[in-house]
Amino acid sequence: MKRILLLSAVLLFFFLSTGCSNTNTLNITDQSKVVLIPDGKGGQALTFSTFIKNHSPKSSEPFYIEFEINSSQLQSKLETSKSKMIVGENTSGNAPGEIYEVKPHTVLQAGSTIRVEGKGEEVALEKLITQSNAVKVRLLNKEHKIITSSSITSFGKDLTADGIDNS
């Protein structure tokens, strides 16, 4: 009987430990936010910024970062027709975009900036982002399967030349 219990305990431990090693160790933190900034041409832009924490003692698997605009109202205010954007696409030299890895027990910040058409209505933009889950960030593995995803519901502004975030 003791032998069966011991064998059962060893098997249970094996299944739990191998199962845990495959669980998601990357976390999109609530520091992630959308920030209204000057675009350098007299207009405004939105920077979609995400912070990704690796809780593991190992480096993360390689991944892409994708932002998705889930609001047609927000989409209509941006100078892009694309509702999904992979960070570094068309600029990184990697298809379809920049490949990231997060070192053990560290945080990675990455983002993408898109110009706002016309004058940005700050209050309307803030409401869209904070109250309607208008922006989603996804981490995608090399096969484009979702590792994890989260809505970004924090908004900030940095409309000063000195880079002080007024959020």
Find out whether 63 and 149 touch, Cβ atoms under 8 Å. Answer: no
Whole-prediction pTM = 0.78
Distance, in Å, from the CA atom of 107 to the CA atom of 7, rounded to the nearest integer, reads 40
Least confident of 16-20, 38-42, 135-139: 16-20
Q: What pLDDT does 84 receive?
A: 92
Q: What pLDDT does 9 receive?
A: 47
Find out whether 110 and 100 touch, Cβ atoms under 8 Å. Answer: yes
Tell me the H-state helices in 22-155: 72-76, 122-131
Distance, in Å, from the CA atom of 24 to the CA atom of 98, rounded to the nearest integer, reads 21
Q: What pLDDT does 167 receive?
A: 52
pLDDT tens, 55-97? 999 999 999 999 999 999 999 999 988 899 999 887 656 678 8
Distance, in Å, from the CA atom of 67 to the CA atom of 136, rounded to the nearest integer, reads 6
